[in-house]
Amino acid sequence: MRPLEGIKIIDLSQAYAGPFATQNLADHGAEVIKIERPGAGDQVRTWKPIKNGESGFHVMLNRNKKGMTLDLKQEDGKEILRKLLADADVIVENYKLGVMDRLGFSYEEMKKINPGIIYANITGFGINGPLAERPCYDIVAQAMGGIMDVTGPADGEPTKIGPAIADSYTGAMLCIGILIALYRREKTGEGCHIDVAMVDTMISVLDHFLIDYTINGEINSRSGNNDQAIAPFDSFRTKNGMCVIACGTDAMFEKLCGLIGRPDLLEDERFSTNVNRCNNYGALKPELEAWTSEKSESELENILVNAGIPFGNIQNMEQLANNPQTKARNMLWEVDQPGMGKVVVTGTPIKMSYEEDKLIKAAPSLGEDNDIILSALGYSQNDIIGLKEKGVI
């Protein structure tokens, strides 16, 4: 038995952040009913990569879910949602602020249908504040949440982090919030409203960049791959590419100086402590790179890993996908997706000792489970045909 079996989630969310949250819950056994617009479906269905007209993004974010279409602007569609809510545990949505209220599904209205319901929503800026009603996507959240200002080369422009981390981090935070709310309900019997904002999430992961300002009034600029709080903690040139080396303690730096034959660096006051190394990193990096640039990546890996110093190759997607460690951790799942055939998507990083780490169900086609879900709610076959004719489903 999977740990979340018996938990029923109504997923009205689309795009990335909300579906990422519910995907993680579905991976561990929750029954997730993904509701999409009739005809069009979730916008993510149009996002690359596309194979045979199907989106890999959709496959990744909506595996293990049931699929249903529903027009919530029609009264029949609203009535179906009310019936779904009656025995649901959680409803998730990421509409613009006010949409659910206008549809007649505010948290207060939902509680009348199901007092124990957990209403979880993601917005760009949260449900209050002067920017609450603004629309948002990942790049907007990275920009306004401070991430872009501290990312990129020192002499370059503010840079978005490659993956959509505002979406995925916010989805992860919503997932945590849902689990907290479910645990609280076990003890109190009460549901709640969970409000998670993308910009808030980006602020929460700014680590030293923000507290340098709040504590010391310092505004740190971009510094490429160098970590401004720890040194050396950076990328370095090698004979045949690039690598990263991370010395998180003075003891590690002392060991590194011994490996490169530079004990004199330890005697230099500029490099004697982590704080001093950070303050004088412009002088330290060339000394270290003079050594790394004379060796290949494989040579450096052998020397540093054997010495217990954190080292990493900068892997491209081909190298990552074929790395034995990736395979050993089962971080790539093969999905037999209708319309696409066998495709590979990212697996879950949450490994449990008591359950097998595997995919259960491919992502649903648009409205795939309409008939099954509606029949379970008491709708006859003629009722379902009528709903289709009216465009409700």
Model confidence over 60-78: pLDDT tens digits? 999 999 999 999 999 999 9
Q: What is the DSSP letter of 347?
A: -
- Which of 89, 149, 167, 200 is flagged as catalytic? 167
The amino acid sitting at 336 is: D
pLDDT of residue 357: 58
Q: Is the pLDDT of residue 223 over 80?
A: yes
* Region label for 70, one of left (φ > 0), alpha (ψ between -120 and 50) or beta (otherwise): beta
Q: Give the separation between CA 119 and CA 182, rounded to whole angstroms.
A: 11
pLDDT of residue 354: 77
Q: Is the pLDDT of residue 269 over 90?
A: yes
Closest CA to 144 of 196, 201, 194: 201
pLDDT of residue 355: 66
Reported confidence tier of residue 356, pLDDT bands at 50, 70, 90: low
pLDDT of residue 352: 85
Q: What are phi and psi of 119, to 5 degrees?
A: -100, 110
Residue with token string 């370059």? 156
pLDDT of residue 221: 82
Q: What percent of the chain has pLDDT over 70?
A: 99
The 3 state secondary structure assigned to 263-310 is CHHHHCHHHCCHHHHHHCHHHHHHHHHHHHCCCCHHHHHHHHHHCCCC
The amino acid sitting at 277 is: R
State the span(s) of the chain assigned CATH 3.30.1540.10: 233-314
Model confidence over 118-153: pLDDT tens digits? 999 999 999 999 999 999 999 999 999 999 999 999
Q: Is the pLDDT of residue 358 over 80?
A: no
Residue positions counted in the chain? 393
User: How many H-runs (helices) and E-runs (strands) does the chain carry?
Assistant: 18, 13
Peptide bond preceding 49 in cis form (omega within 30 of 0)? yes
* Helix, coil or strand: residue 123: strand
Whole-model pTM?
0.93
pLDDT of residue 359: 66
**Mean pLDDT, rounded, for 167-193:** 98
Q: Indicate the CATH number for domain 233-314.
A: 3.30.1540.10
DSSP H helices, 72-197, are 75-86, 99-103, 107-113, 138-144, 165-188
State the span(s) of the chain assigned CATH 3.40.50.10540: 8-204+327-389
Task: Note if 167 is an active site residue.
Answer: yes
Closest CA to 255 of 312, 311, 293: 311
Mean pLDDT of the chain: 95
Q: Which fold has domain 8-204+327-389?
A: Rossmann fold (3.40.50)
